[in-house]
């Protein structure tokens, strides 16, 4: 027994420091690997943030018309003034400059329009995960997808932060836009005066634009001081694109071909009929 103890003691005297160094080395390597792993995950999350969608399946099932699909419970007759007020609401609120072709639009307007389509979708369906401060993020590909459903812009978009109809910060590392909890207080809303069926499945929409305010319960159209301008918008009917999975309601698509400001003193349809039509619409709403 004494011999065993003596040999053990001699072993650790001669080789103990090497064993100690080896163990310390292993612990150090393990600590380094752990730190590198944590750093790698952190860097990965910067470029590929998690929890963007409330359901991971949304990443592959959302499409440009999703915002209109979730609003099919608003049963407006397709082609009616109320229908196009609903369809064009996010477009009108951008207060876009006149254009004869969407290619002429500044990228900032296209981005803001796509973001607001996503905001509307999230208000109805909670597609994007809200952070603790009430904000949420929208991937670039989704922004382009929603905007491209109504605007044809076959070009690369220069993504950057936008301050049109709200302030939305762009993160170039993970390619997302952050929507703050408070988006915008005032914005333009449409009052459709006339809907005219044109050639080749087009629609000519005449609308007055009024400034609305989130903090006011007043109807903007009732106060002439809120009037900003009258626009004529040309739409191309692209037909039915999908059907609501729950109700089977068709989801149409209208491409916005052009938008221009016109003289608000002229009759929307040139013969005074629109004025009487607008009066009938107002009387219907009052009843």
Q: Any idea where the domains of the chain sit in the sequence?
A: 58-279
CA 57 to the chain's CA centroid: 18
**Residue 201 pLDDT > 80, yes or no?**
yes
**Residue 45 pLDDT > 50, yes or no?**
no
| Residue 150, φ and ψ in degrees, nearest 5 | -115, -20
Element (H, E) at 226: none
Reported residue count of the chain is 287
Q: Give, as one character, the DSSP assignment of residue 168.
A: B
The single residue listed with the structure tokens 């040999």 is 7
Instruction: Determine which of 131-140, 153-162, 184-193, 271-280 has the lowest per-residue pLDDT on average.
Output: 271-280
**Residue 74 pLDDT > 80, yes or no?**
no
Handedness of CA 270, 276, 278, 281 (dihedral sign): negative
**Bigger pLDDT: 16 vs 88:** 88
List pLDDT tens digits, range 158-174.
999 999 989 999 999 99
**Residue 2 pLDDT > 90, yes or no?**
no
When the pLDDT of each residue in the chain is averaged and rounded to a whole number, the result is: 81
**Bigger pLDDT: 283 vs 269:** 269
Please tell me whether residue 166 adopts helix, strand or coil conformation.
coil
Q: Give, as one character, the DSSP assignment of residue 76.
A: P
**Helix residue ranges, H only, the chain:** 2-47, 58-61, 66-69, 81-92, 107-125, 140-148, 273-286
Distance from the first to the final alpha carbon of the chain: 108
List pLDDT tens digits, range 9-44.
555 456 555 665 656 566 667 766 666 556 544 444
pLDDT at 58: 93
Per-residue burial over 116-144, b = 16 or more CB atoms within 10 Å of its CB, e = otherwise: bbbbbbbeebebbeeeeeeebbbbbebbb
Instruction: Determine which of 58-67, 112-121, 215-224, 256-265 has the lowest per-residue pLDDT on average.
Output: 215-224
Per-residue burial over 79-105, b = 16 or more CB atoms within 10 Å of its CB, e = otherwise: eebebbbbbbbbbbbbbbeebeebeeb
**Bigger pLDDT: 13 vs 155:** 155
CA distance 236 to 256: 7
């Amino acid at each position: 027994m004494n011999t065993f103890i003596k040999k053990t003691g001699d072993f650790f005297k001669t080789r103990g420091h090497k064993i100690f160094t080896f163990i310390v080395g292993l612990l150090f390597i393990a600590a380094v690997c752990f730190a590198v792993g944590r750093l790698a995950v952190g860097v990965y999350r910067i470029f590929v943030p998690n929890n963007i969608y409330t359901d991971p399946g949304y990443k592959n099932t959302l499409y440009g018309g999703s915002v209109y699909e979730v609003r099919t419970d608003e049963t407006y007759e397709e082609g009616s003034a109320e229908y196009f007020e609903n369809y064009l609401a996010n477009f009108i609120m951008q207060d876009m400059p006149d254009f004869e072709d969407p290619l002429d639009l500044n990228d900032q307007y296209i981005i803001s329009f796509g973001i607001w389509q996503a905001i509307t979708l999230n208000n109805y369906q909670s597609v994007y995960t809200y952070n603790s401060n009430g904000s949420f993020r929208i991937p670039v590909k989704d922004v382009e997808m929603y905007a491209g459903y109504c605007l044809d812009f076959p070009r690369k978009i220069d993504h950057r932060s936008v301050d049109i109809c709200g302030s939305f910060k762009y993160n170039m590392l993970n390619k997302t836009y952050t929507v703050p909890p408070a988006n915008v207080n005032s914005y333009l809303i449409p009052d459709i005066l006339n809907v005219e069926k044109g050639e080749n499945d087009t629609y000519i929409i005449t609308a007055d634009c009024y400034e609305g305010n989130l903090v006011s319960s007043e109807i903007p159209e009732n106060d002439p001081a809120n009037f900003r301008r009258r626009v004529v918008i040309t739409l191309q009917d692209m037909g039915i694109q999908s059907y609501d999975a729950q109700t089977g309601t068709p989801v149409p698509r209208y491409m916005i071909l052009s938008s221009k400001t016109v003289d608000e003193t002229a009759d929307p349809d040139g013969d005074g009929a629109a004025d009487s039509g607008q009066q009938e619409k107002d009387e219907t709403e009052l009843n």
